[in-house]
Structure 1
Amino acid sequence: MELCKFHTVAFVVILFCFPIAYGWGTDGHFIICRLAQPRLTKAAANAVSQLLPAYAQNDLGSVCSWADRVRFRYHWSAPLHFIDTPDNLCTYQYKRDCKDGDGIQDRCVAGAINNYTTQLLSYGKASSASQYNLTEALLFLSHFIGDIHQPLHVGFTSDRGANTIDIRWYNTKGVLHHVWDTNIIETAEKRFYDSDVEELIDALQKNITTVWSAQAKAWEACNKIACPDLYASEGIKAACDWAYKGVDENSVLEDDYFLSRRPVVNLRLAQGGVRLAATLNRIFG
């Protein structure tokens, strides 16, 4: 598969490229990886610790946005962050939708999750050292499981996942996609958590173990190692039911939109964290 082929680039140099947010913003990816890491089994935690670069200091969250930064160097990776679906159908089908702008099959976020899952399954095998860069595979997989839980990363083709829908977020001009990447999370942090992402993470962790505990067991379920098609189907439904709904070009989005959509964002962040952990636990045994 073409996704497996990339050039080796100095890893530390790439890390310090100027960051641009393309999926969840930096906080969104940080939250998902921070929710996931404490849920790892001993075997998975050991594997993750071995694969993380030393500068991460065993903190998966600290490198969870790496895949956005390397888009400057790994241009081939750009289509792997999202899925374009037919406008207004509000459905997802892998064979129909998982392709890049040139029509090359498997080049979408669901295909990328499948690919990097397969790579990581080679961990501990003698052939893996020369065939794959498993550190990069771990960072890509962790990031892409986050991306597929952002509803507008499984959005409509014509507006590029709402990247071309101009809106105003309170008094600030922007695009609808960015509202879901960043604005809802940052507004929630400022309004409810004293601008402290750690407080938001703690609140989500508590919900996962209390009010969402039964649901969290269902979120983990997967009859394969990874289940990106399920997550993508949920994503386009959330995009239609919540992200796109009631929004027109130049809409002004304020409290009505923020307060009604915030629970959806919280749910998708929690699901992303739980499922990332479950996937890594299945991969590493």
Structure 2
Amino acid sequence: MFWNELFWIGRALVLLQLIPGILGWGKQGHFAVCKIAEGYLTEDALAAVKLLLPDAGGDLASVCSWADEVKFHLRWSGPLHYVDTPDFRCKYDYCRDCHDTHGHENMCVTGAIYNYTMQLLSAYNDSNSQMKYNLTEALMFLSHFIGDVHQPLHVGFLGDLGGNTIVIRWYRRKTNLHHVWDNMIIESALKTFYGSDLAIMIQAIQRNITDSWFNEISSWKSCTSDRTVCPDPYASESVHLACKFAYRNATTGSTLGDDYFLSRLPVVEKRLAQAGVRLAALLNRIFVSQTLIAQE
């Protein structure tokens, strides 16, 4: 599907698709990313989010998993959740890697981030933009894909489909490596350290942002050459982390337990933090002191 062929699903369908389903980072992970982002939004960005999400009451976190919930209906969107890289090179290159299995260029997570940023920016510059694009969808897709590009195995190897074909055991449970990073590290952390309360986990990550990672925040927010959006460095970080942490000691048939969990959890929590801070910075740049053209 070409970018300029995106049409309205309609408000009723949007509401229908908010029903929980099969998710990406994991519903908890995407919720955490958007909840962290909400705390860093400017007044202009908050106003724009509320305008574009009337059915959700302006609550970005509540719709952060929407893109996963509709990908089985909007099948063209499936390749937009990830980008595959050549096996064992541990490098990402947009021109080489950003395409779907049919070779269609720009059909990957980084391409999607560029596209939906452009759609939202067009609302300031083109009075007909609301006829071309569904700006509510653009915001929900963009928020979700910023989360996805920070999950290391969403920029994993082509040969194992980002860890999906690496069958392992997470303690006693049979699963695959990709699912471990999407869901199971977070689920185990919630049970082990946070009393199964996602709000407490988010608060702990927020404290680390203001304390442990405070000196890094400015570099997280910035884009090279003052660009509005810069997902390529995020993808490069992810594949590097995939090689260093996700794939290491995780081969088909292996059992992953405390050693793997406790050493990888800090990586997951920091990626959630980076995704949240960067999503907020991006939305703040998009919605800076301008009047958004409202959708009918």
Q: Please give the TM-score of this superposition, normalised by the length of structure 2.
A: 0.93
Three-state SS of the structure 2 residue aligned to 1:167 is strand
CA displacement at 1:19 relative to structure 2: 4.0
Q: Does 1:234 align with 2:237?
A: yes
Residues 4 and 115 in structure 1, CA contact (< 8 A), matched pair in contact too: no
Provide the residue aligned with 1:283 in structure 2. Answer: 286
Provide the residue aligned with 1:197 in structure 2. Answer: 198
Residues 15 and 70 in structure 1, CA contact (< 8 A), matched pair in contact too: no
Provide the residue aligned with 2:4 in structure 1. Answer: 4
Write the distance in 2 (CA, Å) between the matches of 1:140 and 1:120: 11
Write the distance in 1 (CA, Å) between the matches of 2:90 and 2:35: 30
Residues 25 and 148 in structure 2, CA contact (< 8 A), matched pair in contact too: yes
Write the distance in 2 (CA, Å) between the matches of 1:167 and 1:191: 21
Residues 31 and 201 in structure 1, CA contact (< 8 A), matched pair in contact too: yes
User: Which residue type is aligned with residue 275 of structure 2?
Assistant: G
Write the distance in 1 (CA, Å) between the matches of 2:28 and 2:104: 31
Equivalent positions of 1:72-221 (< 5 A) are 72-124=72-124, 125-221=126-222
Aligned length: 284
Three-state SS of the structure 2 residue aligned to 1:188 is helix
User: Which residue type is aligned with residue 168 of structure 2?
Assistant: I
Write the distance in 1 (CA, Å) between the matches of 2:93 and 2:117: 20
CA displacement at 1:8 relative to structure 2: 3.0
| Deviation >4 Å, runs of 4+ | none
Write the distance in 1 (CA, Å) between the matches of 2:204 and 2:169: 28
- The answer to which of 115-124 and 136-145 deviates more is 115-124
Q: Does 1:63 align with 2:63?
A: yes
Provide the residue aligned with 1:25 in structure 2. Answer: 26
Summarize deviations over 1:225-269 as a string: whole Å, max 9, x none: 111100000000000000001111011000000000000001100
Residues 114 and 226 in structure 1, CA contact (< 8 A), matched pair in contact too: yes
User: Which residue type is aligned with residue 208 of structure 1?
Assistant: I
Summarize deviations over 1:56-111 as a string: whole Å, max 9, x none: 12210000000001112211000000001000000000000000000111000000
Three-state SS of the structure 1 residue aligned to 2:84 is strand
Q: Does 1:37 align with 2:34?
A: no
CA displacement at 1:127 relative to structure 2: 1.7
Write the distance in 2 (CA, Å) between the matches of 1:130 and 1:196: 41
Residues 7 and 134 in structure 2, CA contact (< 8 A), matched pair in contact too: no
Provide the residue aligned with 2:256 in structure 1. Answer: 253
Change over 3 Å in CA distance of 1:72–1:19 after alignment to 2: farther
Q: Please give the TM-score of this superposition, normalised by the length of structure 1.
A: 0.96
> What RMSD, in angstroms, separates the aligned Cα atoms of the two structures?
1.3
Write the distance in 1 (CA, Å) between the matches of 2:183 and 2:11: 26
